[in-house]
A and B are shown apart, each in its own frame.
Chain A
Amino acid sequence: MLLRWARRLREQGIVGLNERNLSLINRHNPRERFPLVDDKLKTKLLARKYGIASPELLGVIHSQGEIRRLESIIQPGRGFAIKPSRGSGGKGILVILEHKDGWFRKGSGLWVSRRDVVRYLSNLLSGLYTLGGSPDVAMIEALIEFDEHFESFTFEGVPDIRVVVYRGYPLMAMMRLSTHASDGKANLHQGAIGVGLDLASGRATQAVQYDRPVHHHPDTGRRLNELQIPDWTRLLELAAGCYEMSGLGYLGTDMVLDRHRGPLLLELNARPGLAIQMANRCGLAPRVAHIDAHERERIRQQDDTLYPPAARVAFAQRIFGAAQKPEPGA
């Protein structure tokens, strides 16, 4: 029975955690590269160097003493977000929509005093949000003004787009929509919706919540199959470019669409999870095999032409687009 189940998963090319760890992460992600993505500040500075757009960095607070500088970093009247540089899973992010006379309005609409913000910063610096509690630094970023396009697709939180990049090629993509159940967070296991995206068009293929298919956003009632990402190819190229920047062969890139600036890189993940397979109802393994074969072919033909992100994206869109492989029942 169990063996039959395993075989059926294997036939659909579903990658399990063991295989992900051994065949994808261990083989393609050099350990010494991990700090680049585990530390968001490093990622950000690196992204700046490689010309990959990311939310504007207003300032960094390194030590408890620097907390006093808060007012000199933030601009009057403008909202901002404070993030732990080495937090994980979106924890410890404080969004301030506006501030006035030592009072701050949080993302939830609640006004808090300056003292609360200072205490939050102090906790962050002493490592409340890092794994193992090692000291951290606080990044202060300009707020993302996310595309009004998605207003009705999400509840409270900013929706982000996860593109898994394998050896520089976009492999699979999904959009994560926060819900009331996920408390405004974009974590699938906390109840956010994962929407599988067609690599060719950036259109929603289908959606899951708690690994179960859904058709409407539970809080806004919006039909999920109407979702389409604007600027899709540029977003994929940006994601694919993270391969050169990070040197990681199996990479999760989290992107977000800004109203004015277009796709921005939020953060990278050296150990992207497997939920993307659920959202796309499709296994990663055949696509991995396809790219491996393609790379082997290039080596065999001694194809040493430069293969820029745009070319890799075009290849992936051609091969993995939904039009190439009609979904059953679509």
Chain B
Amino acid sequence: MKLARSSLFWIAAVLILVGIAHSVHRHLEHGVPWFPGATDTLWDIEATVRLDASGDPVRVRLAVPGDAPGFKRVAEHTASPGYGLSFVDNGHRHAEWTTREAVGPQVLYYRAQFQVDPTLGSRHVGHPPEIRRIAWSPSLQVASAQVLRNAYLQSADGFSLARALVRRLADADNQNAQLLLSEYPPSTTLVRLLNQAEVPARTVHGLVLEDGRRRQSLQPFVQVFEGDAWRLFDPKGGTEVQDEEVLLWEQAGGPVLVVEGGRNSRVTFSMLETRQSAAGLGEQGTVTDAVFNLSIHSLPLSEQAIFQSILLLPLGALVVVFFRVVVGLETSGTFMPVLIALAFLEMNLLPGLITFLLVVGGGLLMRQAMAHLNLLLVARVSVVIVCVIGLISLLSVLSFHLGFTSGLKVALFPMIILAWTIERMSILWEEEGPRDVFKQGAGSLITAIAAFWLMQLGWVQHLMFNFLGLQLVVLAGIVLLGSYTGYRLLELWRFRPFLTPAGGRT
């Protein structure tokens, strides 16, 4: 029934061995480097096409990138059970899924891996698009002429003209520009203005690359040609776009998704930044192998992005176990410090800490004020939660207007954690009094900060995500700590009268 301690050590030893063996295997077989850096940056991009099929033959055409400028396509992979697939390349690449009959919601995946390589596929011009004649409606005629004239005067060539136009379009005080934008989307407006000035330009769709993003959509960018070069502008952001930040998904200015035989079709993108040694890259080759590796990497990218955080949790749990069992800090709950640490990861330490102290402190104050209302416990805690939400909203608005945008990241997830913390703390306040609230609150915060510090380290994130075997090592650590019967550090302090030879007698 109860295992002897020695067998516990054996279990831990086996866990550690298996974990390390698996990691070494991953390192040797798949070339996953032990440390981030000295590696190539890869972007895994996954497009998810969803549609409701109506029962007729379905044909789905998704524009897919060839060699996007600045990126090299390393691998390509689709998942679409029951569909025939072909890649069509008539100048513009398309993936085309077809099936005779499909009913109900359909999900099709296209995944590709891109290697960041500024020298590759770089900026070959292709044919600049034709310059179309632009006709504005009479009401916009004057406005467009004004915007263009001003910008023209401040520019020397096509690029600087585009830059000047983009700046005006992004300027909310520019009445003329705003008038144009009320009629056309920003990218179209920019293209029209440029065409009017006889500068070739077109709208292309690209993805803004950011690690771990899910459910992103393509953004329109404007590609401006000048001589035998082109540059990319973000018509909304008011700037020229850095090459490595945007992956051009299609460069023809055509539609991204065309669906026959289905309704409500949409495409969303998930992306993940991974690093691999150049040696391992050639070996691993295609993403399809991942299925046989039984690794997180075989999951859809949106899930992988979630797992990037989830896989850090065991490490946080280990920190909590250490602080409670070996140090002897009291924390409120076992998992809560980990969750607070996770909230800090979302918000960053300092803003997170300030938000945490402000919101929890404010919540507890409100709770004290509530004591006079004489409500039942559940209602009282609920009132506190409602107040907390108000407090958080207020804080977000304030921090935005004061210019700390990180306050805005108090999104749903940290908010739940905060509300929950306050609930626990206020129950504790009623049951044990403010002294224990302070003790456990401080203990939780110290533990959370330590866990955050560990979880935020780049190489720790890299190791935990890429070497699943290490989870077993962490597990072994928790098991071993769980059987520790020695004194806690703070107990040495507690029992200090026993430490003096006289036994503390006077």
Residue of B nearest to A4 (CB): B499
Q: Which of A9, A89, A328 has the most CB of B within 10 A?
A: A9
For chain A, residues 133 to 190, give those with C-beta under 8 angstroms from any C-beta of chain B: 133
For the complex of A and B, 7 pairs with smallest distance between CB atoms: A16-B487, A19-B485, A133-B377, A126-B376, A5-B492, A16-B491, A18-B485
In the complex, which residues of chain A have a beta carbon less than 8 angstroms from the beta carbon of B484? Answer: 18
Separation of A89 and B431 alpha carbons in the complex (Å): 9
Asked if B503 lies at the interface with its beta carbon under 8 angstroms from chain A, I say yes
Q: Check if A17 sits within 8 Å of B505, measured CB to CB.
A: no
For chain B, residues 153 to 185, give those with C-beta under 8 angstroms from any C-beta of chain A: none
What are 29 A-B contacts with C-beta separation under 8 Å?
Answer: A5-B499, A6-B486, A6-B492, A9-B487, A9-B491, A9-B492, A9-B495, A14-B495, A14-B498, A16-B485, A16-B486, A17-B491, A18-B325, A18-B487, A18-B488, A19-B485, A19-B486, A22-B483, A26-B2, A88-B431, A119-B374, A126-B377, A133-B377, A133-B378, A133-B427, A211-B496, A213-B505, A278-B495, A281-B497
- 12 extra A-B contacts, CB within 8 A, seeds A16-B487, A281-B504: A14-B498, A16-B495, A17-B488, A18-B487, A18-B488, A23-B485, A126-B377, A133-B378, A133-B427, A213-B504, A213-B506, A278-B497
In the complex, which residues of chain B have a beta carbon less than 8 angstroms from the beta carbon of A128? Answer: 377, 430
Q: Check if B504 sits within 8 Å of A212, measured CB to CB.
A: yes
Q: Mark B1-39, 1 if CB is under 8 A from A, else 0.
A: 010000000000000000000000000000000000000
Distance of A198 from chain B, by nearest CB (Å): 17
In the complex, which residues of chain A have a beta carbon less than 8 angstroms from the beta carbon of B377? Answer: 123, 126-128, 133
Contact of A8 among B374, B427, B488, B499 (CB under 8 A): B499
Separation of A98 and B78 alpha carbons in the complex (Å): 82
Distance of B254 from chain A, by nearest CB (Å): 60
For chain B, residues 410 to 434, give those with C-beta under 8 angstroms from any C-beta of chain A: 427, 430-432
In the complex, which residues of chain B have a beta carbon less than 8 angstroms from the beta carbon of A9? Answer: 487, 491-492, 495, 498-499
Distance of B326 from chain A, by nearest CB (Å): 9
Asked if A69 lies at the interface with its beta carbon under 8 angstroms from chain B, I say no
Q: Mark B464-506, 1 if CB is under 8 A from A, else 0.
A: 0000000000000000000111111101101111110001111
Separation of A265 and B496 alpha carbons in the complex (Å): 32
Q: Which of A8, A10, A277 has the most CB of B within 10 A?
A: A8
Asked if B328 lies at the interface with its beta carbon under 8 angstroms from chain A, I say yes
In the complex, which residues of chain B have a beta carbon less than 8 angstroms from the beta carbon of A133? Answer: 377-378, 381, 427
Q: Check if A91 sits within 8 Å of B498, measured CB to CB.
A: no
In the complex, which residues of chain A have a beta carbon less than 8 angstroms from the beta carbon of B427? Answer: 132-133
Which residues of chain A have a CB within 8 Å of any CB of chain B? 2, 5-6, 8-10, 12, 14, 16-19, 22-23, 26-27, 88-89, 91, 119, 123, 126-129, 131-133, 208, 211-213, 277-278, 281, 283, 328-329
Distance of B489 from chain A, by nearest CB (Å): 7
Separation of A213 and B374 alpha carbons in the complex (Å): 42
Distance of A59 from chain B, by nearest CB (Å): 23
- Count of B interface residues, CB-CB < 8 Å: 31
Which residues of chain B have a CB within 8 Å of any CB of chain A? 2, 325, 328, 374, 376-378, 381, 427, 430-432, 483-489, 491-492, 494-499, 503-506
In the complex, which residues of chain A have a beta carbon less than 8 angstroms from the beta carbon of B378? Answer: 126, 133
In the complex, which residues of chain B have a beta carbon less than 8 angstroms from the beta carbon of A10? Answer: 487
In the complex, which residues of chain A have a beta carbon less than 8 angstroms from the beta carbon of B483? Answer: 22
In the complex, which residues of chain A have a beta carbon less than 8 angstroms from the beta carbon of B2? Answer: 26-27
Distance of B452 from chain A, by nearest CB (Å): 25
Distance of B422 from chain A, by nearest CB (Å): 14
In the complex, which residues of chain B have a beta carbon less than 8 angstroms from the beta carbon of A329? Answer: 505
Q: Check if B431 sits within 8 Å of A91, measured CB to CB.
A: yes
In the complex, which residues of chain B have a beta carbon less than 8 angstroms from the beta carbon of A328? Answer: 503, 505
Distance of B188 from chain A, by nearest CB (Å): 58
Residue of B nearest to A21 (CB): B485
Q: Check if A16 sits within 8 Å of B499, measured CB to CB.
A: no
In the complex, which residues of chain B have a beta carbon less than 8 angstroms from the beta carbon of A91? Answer: 431-432
Q: Check if A281 sits within 8 Å of B492, measured CB to CB.
A: no
Distance of A1 from chain B, by nearest CB (Å): 10
Separation of A5 and B430 alpha carbons in the complex (Å): 37
Q: Check if A129 sits within 8 Å of B485, measured CB to CB.
A: no
Q: Check if B505 sits within 8 Å of A2, measured CB to CB.
A: no
Separation of A123 and B503 alpha carbons in the complex (Å): 46
Distance of B133 from chain A, by nearest CB (Å): 73
Separation of A5 and B501 alpha carbons in the complex (Å): 11
Q: Check if B485 sits within 8 Å of A22, measured CB to CB.
A: yes
In the complex, which residues of chain A have a beta carbon less than 8 angstroms from the beta carbon of B498? Answer: 8-9, 12, 14, 281, 283
Q: Check if B374 sits within 8 Å of A129, measured CB to CB.
A: no
